[in-house]
Amino acid sequence: MIELLTRSDLVRDANLIGGRWLPSASGRTFAVANPANGDTLARIPDSHAADARAATDAAHAAFPAWRARLPRERAEILRCWHALIVANTEDLARLMSSEQGKPLAEARGEVAYGAGYVAWFADEAAHVHGDILPPQQRGKRMTAVKEPVGIVAAITPWNFPLAMIARKIAPALAAGCVVVAKPAEDTPLTALALALLAQEAGVPDGVLNVIAASRESGIEAVADWLEDSRVRKITFTGSTAVGKLLARDSARTLKKLSLELGGNAPFIVFEDADLSAAVDGVIAAKFRNGGQTCVCPNRVYVHASVYDRFASMLAERVGALKVAAAADPSAQIGPMINARAVEKIARHVDHAVERGAKVLTGGRRLSELGDNFYAPTVLVDASSDMLFCNEETFGPVAPLFSFDDEAEVIRTANDTPYGLAAYFYTQDMRRIERVSAALEAGVIGVNEGAVSSEAAPFGGIKESGYGREGSRYGLDDYLAIKYVCQGGLA
Ligand code: NAP
């Protein structure tokens, strides 16, 4: 598919540092592969600490001029970037599908979704207000102004190669910050293409720097940012385990942190739910991106009185999902990102089956399609001793648990260290109020499975992290409040 790009120059084989496209300082490269068939898509720089340092130097040099720009000038550049992303939707979608595996229709949707954050923060850039504070003494004026925090290091995962990095870069640039970024090892090409479009949109040299790295080298590169006191903020999306490491290691230079981490979302179907809407909700929330989303339900709780009916309705829909490589226009589920991901899914399903779960559909690798394919799966008779309850499965598997009453299911739904998303379906207004308030999550879907939007504050509580992306709150994470007390005015 990558050979079908209208603009072949969007496939970058270099880092963007200080406005120049450079190889890694060591000259080393690594291969980016298509997860559907293992074919190499490109060889790109394998960056280490020296490259990270060069990116920070470039950002440091660019910061004074960028922060001094008028907000509407920054907004104009972001608008231009948005227009270029939209204009190149088809190429970006093909690139993303090639390196990540998601079906082309989903990749197009992600381009629109990611671009939405750029447009949103272009508007927000011009709406950063401070305050004149109520005077406490004559002759003094107290004001609170908001300033960019400085150099932001953005570290992103592979599951949304465009949206996750766009929703960090856009608010950072809008706020007047400068960025050094490292996308995931598996999906760096989309991020590099975005960086080229940002450059074409007029983002000045050094304001956005993107380096690519394989896993081990990337850890070394990020470590350099963690140690560097010029880097004032880390914005990270990824697993809770890595988020904790970053929180620990950034403490030495006490950086501001935003952590968008893993989830283990419950999805509750009450006895009065519209069952076919709830099935649609599970399909949207669980099976998008092959179940590789942080907000996807890991545990589906269904009231005992509707359990069998719901299970067979869901199994019928899931069994009909078309699994194929992204290049196949009819694909609804693509390959998983890599062999490790498939092994984890198989481990969760096998563990559940050993403890009494029954497979209604799926439950096996699809080796006939390739090493990284797993069949969309519905399991019934799931129980709390199964791995789904403690770990993110990150695959197309919906385990169904049965429950009898509301208090019990809320207790069980909250019985997890995570708190990112939670969903429930009911037609009872009072229950909507009660359950929304009782569920411990940063994002709640009520009779709705598709919850993400640039206009909404996205983020978790508990071990799913802190900070919010999107909405008017999303800019706050990139701003520091400065209080100015001016005396002698009487
Ligand atoms: P991950 O392993 O934590 O990796 C995320 C990023 O951190 C990648 O760029 C990765 O580089 C890098 N990294 C890994 N180990 C590191 C270390 N020791 N030091 C510094 N950087 C390190 O997560 P993932 O597997 O890519 O993504 C899946 C996870 O992301 C899931 O848990 C999912 O729930 C979460 N997620 C959360 C959100 C949200 O908004 N809350 C959204 C999407 C995904 P490499 O790729 O080279 O390993």
CATH of the domain at 300: 3.40.309.10
Active site residue 76: no
How many angstroms does the Cα of residue 183 sit away from the middle of ligand 1? 9
Pocket residue to mutate for ligand 1, from 245, 294, 471, most atoms within 8 A of Cβ: 294
Pocket residue to mutate for ligand 1, from 164, 239, 248, 344, most atoms within 8 A of Cβ: 239
Does any ligand 1 atom lie closer than 6 A to the CB of residue 223? no
User: Is 335 part of any domain?
Assistant: yes
Nearest to 202 by CA among 225, 173, 166, 182: 173
Does any ligand 1 atom lie closer than 6 A to the CB of residue 105? no
User: Is 109 part of any domain?
Assistant: yes
Residues 168, 34: one domain? yes
Pocket residue to mutate for ligand 1, from 162, 217, 219, most atoms within 8 A of Cβ: 219
User: Is 457 part of any domain?
Assistant: no
DSSP for 383-394, please give it: -TTSGGGTS---
Number of domains into which the chain is organized: 2
Which amino acid, residue 395? G
Residues 93, 166: one domain? yes
Quick one: pLDDT at residue 390? 85
Residues 357, 405: one domain? yes
* pLDDT tens column, 272-291: 999 999 999 999 999 999 99
Residues 241, 281: one domain? no
Does any ligand 1 atom lie closer than 6 A to the CB of residue 248? no
Residues 256, 378: one domain? no
CATH of the domain at 107: 3.40.605.10
Residues 198, 317: one domain? no
User: Is 331 part of any domain?
Assistant: yes
- Domain residues for 406? 265-452
How many angstroms does the Cα of residue 226 sit away from the middle of ligand 1? 16
Residues 173, 125: one domain? yes
User: Is 2 part of any domain?
Assistant: no
Cα–Cα dist 395/50, whole Å: 36
Q: How many helices (H) and strands (E) does the chain have?
A: 13, 22
Which amino acid, residue 59? A
The DSSP letter of residue 402 is: E
* pLDDT tens column, 203-224: 999 999 999 999 999 999 999 9
Contact 398, 386 (CB under 8 A): no
Of all protein residues, whose CA lies closest to atom 21 belonging to ligand 1?
219
Mean pLDDT over all residues of the chain? Answer: 97
Residues 245, 269: one domain? no
Residues 99, 216: one domain? yes
User: Is 1 part of any domain?
Assistant: no
Q: How confident is the model at residue 201 (pLDDT cuts 50, 70, 90)?
A: very high
Residues 255, 359: one domain? no
Catalytic residue among 99, 106, 110, 260: 260
Residues 173, 40: one domain? yes
User: Is 396 part of any domain?
Assistant: yes
User: Is 489 part of any domain?
Assistant: no
Contact 149, 480 (CB under 8 A): yes
Share of the chain above pLDDT 70, in %: 100
Beta bridge partners of 144: 131, 483
* pLDDT tens column, 97-124: 999 999 999 999 999 999 999 999 999 9
pTM for the complete prediction?
0.97
Q: How confident is the model at residue 3 (pLDDT cuts 50, 70, 90)?
A: confident
Residues 434, 472: one domain? no
